[in-house]
Structure 1
Amino acid sequence: MLFSKLLPKEGNFFELFNQHADRIVEGAKAFENLVRHYGDPQLREKYNLEVDNAERAADRVTAEVNRLIHTTFITPIDREQIHSLINLMDDVADLLQDSAETMALYDVHHMTEEITRLTDLSVKCCERLQAAVRLLSRLADPGTAEAALKTCEEIDRLESDADRVLRSAMSKLFRHEPDVRELIKLKAIYELLETITDRCEDVANQIEGIVLENS
């Protein structure tokens, strides 16, 4: 035990978590701009590229974290927690890119109120995820640990809001959309956007576990 305490701990993990969370928010903001300016083909292409760039940057951070897991003797938190957290975070970045790509592949011509509302909730979830991740390096402080748990609760509430928006959107879609092709397109996009908030909630649940075990 004494020998283990004398060995240096790898401090890069928390910084890498922060970097990944920053890329998630960058991707979410770019996607939000994509939705807002969808009618402008040039801006649409610009923001699509920004989403792609954020996702690729997030992938590089994920790869570095997974490399460090195998080369670091003592990690600041459990290895399995590190692995699970970074990969759940990467799912969020991937889903943002998937949503942007799906809009292009399905040749969606206009944004609906429901897409805008789900996008707004997704961005808010990503921002709260970023805030929670930034607290992980200071969990020894009881106030910080409590703040992290409260932030995770906020993500849970946002995800519940997104569930309600999705249910309402589906009801409206199946009741009022006469074009079957348009219905299929919008259904897929609504579900993808709601899944972003689901994955943010998964990250929040993982962070809650880390907080409870390490504070």
Structure 2
Amino acid sequence: MGGFNSIVKLFMPKDRVFYSLFEDVSANLVDMAQELVNLVESNDPAFRKDKTHLIERLEHKNDDYTHRIFVELGQNFITPFDREDIHYLASTLDDVADYIHGSAKRMDLYKIKEITDSVRKLAHLILEGCKELHRAIPELRTMNNMRLITDACVKINSLENHADDIYDRAIGDLFEFETNAAELIKMREIYQALEIATDKCEDSANVIETIIIKYA
């Protein structure tokens, strides 16, 4: 197997642009998720608005990275792994960014005054998921540390299950205790956006697992 891996590495493109771009994306996602946590941990409306604007700027940065990945995909004849896997990984990571931004934007637009404990917990789980993605993605360069990649993917899977539980309980409480229909709709949308961000982290981890199964 070792000899075969050496041959595969020999034919890998000298241009490692995809690795760098994916690492840029995962680092940017950690920044976005950290700012989301900072936002939900604060009760200061002005501070929260600043964080929403910052998350929006980071989301635009993420769009630029994703666009560059797709441009490279169109121009490079040889890619480090399957083209559809590169495309799918870029898309799922971009979805994580979109839903982090969407969560922050909704909290701002709906003028949410009280941040619930469930919102804070979900934001922390998103941050943990993004950190795990950022641990796994640089390892794709060499694929020498399969254990680290697999552990990160397993952890993301477990974070997503935890997020599902928090989401289910939060929605249950909302329908039981929230008497204002408008507030109920607002909070449900925010919970959904946060929960989908954790789903998209898991989707990204699944693509990473597909890649290492093919190339390990």
TM over 0.5: yes
Q: Percent identity?
A: 34
Distance 1:6 1:78 in 2: 14
**1:46 corresponds to which letter in structure 2?**
D
Q: What CA deviation, in whole Å up to 9, does each residue of 1:81-129 have, x standing for no partner? A: 1111011101101111111111112221210111111111111111111
Give every structure 1 segment of 4 or more consecutive aligned residues whose post-TM-superposition deviation is greater than 3 Å. 5-9
- Larger deviation: 173-182 or 6-15? 6-15
TM, length-normalised to structure 1 = 0.93
Question: Which of 66, 78, 91 does residue 82 from structure 2 map onto?
Answer: 78
Distance 1:214 1:129 in 2: 18
- Larger deviation: 68-77 or 157-166? 68-77
Distance 1:123 1:7 in 2: 32
Partner of 1:210: 211
Contact 1:9–1:74 (Cα < 8 Å) also in 2: no
Q: Displacement, 1:41?
A: 2.3
Contact 2:25–2:62 (Cα < 8 Å) also in 1: yes
Matched residue pairs, number? 208
Distance 1:53 1:131 in 2: 23
**1:108 corresponds to which letter in structure 2?**
I
Distance 1:45 1:169 in 2: 24
Where structure 2 has 5 or more consecutive residues not aligned to the other structure, the ranges are 1-6
Q: What CA deviation, in whole Å up to 9, does each residue of 1:148-190 have, x standing for no partner? A: 0111000000000000001111111111111111111111111
1:57 aligns with 2:61: yes
Q: Displacement, 1:203?
A: 0.2
Partner of 1:148: 149
**Alignment RMSD:** 1.5
Q: Displacement, 1:6?
A: 6.4
Cα 1:213–1:30 change in 2 (3 A) is same
1:176 aligns with 2:177: yes
Partner of 1:158: 159
Three-state SS of the structure 2 residue aligned to 1:135 is helix
Question: Which of 33, 38, 43 does residue 33 from structure 1 map onto?
Answer: 38
**1:193 corresponds to which letter in structure 2?**
L
Distance 1:192 1:63 in 2: 23
Distance 2:52 2:178 in 1: 27
Contact 1:10–1:76 (Cα < 8 Å) also in 2: no
TM, length-normalised to structure 2 = 0.92
Contact 2:35–2:51 (Cα < 8 Å) also in 1: yes
Where structure 1 has 5 or more consecutive residues not aligned to the other structure, the ranges are none
Cα 1:209–1:184 change in 2 (3 A) is same
